[in-house]
């Protein structure tokens, strides 16, 4: 599953135009990991995001949120309705 997350992240960052050598990237990834960990635990408890692709979508939604808060224009991530609702509940 972590390979799926890493691959999705790399593709997403390329689409967002984020340089792989961006000095803030490490900090952004750490923040993303924190958000994702909170959300993924809740998702698993509800029977959601059990497949690597779903977990990757959730991770990318967290990454998009972090990037937007840092002033980086990030491509939108479309989550299934249940995951989008969970994200709104856990990360208002």
Segment 11-68, tens digit of pLDDT: 999 999 999 899 999 999 999 999 999 999 999 999 998 888 889 999 999 999 999 9
Residue with tokens 């509800």: 46
Cα–Cα dist 18/46, whole Å: 33
C-alpha triplet 71, 19, 22: angle, nearest 5°: 70
Say what the pTM is.
0.90
Backbone angles phi, psi at 12, to 5 degrees: -65, -45
Domains identified in the chain, total number: 1
Residues in the chain: 92
C-alpha triplet 79, 20, 72: angle, nearest 5°: 55
Q: Which domain holds residue 64?
A: 2-90
């Amino acid at each position: 599953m972590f390979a799926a997350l890493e691959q999705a992240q790399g593709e997403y960052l390329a689409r967002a135009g984020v340089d792989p050598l961006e000095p803030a990237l490490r900090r952004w990834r750490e923040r993303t990991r924190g958000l994702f960990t909170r959300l993924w635990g809740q998702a698993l408890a509800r029977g959601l995001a059990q497949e690597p692709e779903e977990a990757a979508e959730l991770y990318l939604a967290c990454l998009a949120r972090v990037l937007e808060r840092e002033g980086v224009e990030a491509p939108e991530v479309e989550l299934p309705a249940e995951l989008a609702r969970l994200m709104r509940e856990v990360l208002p």
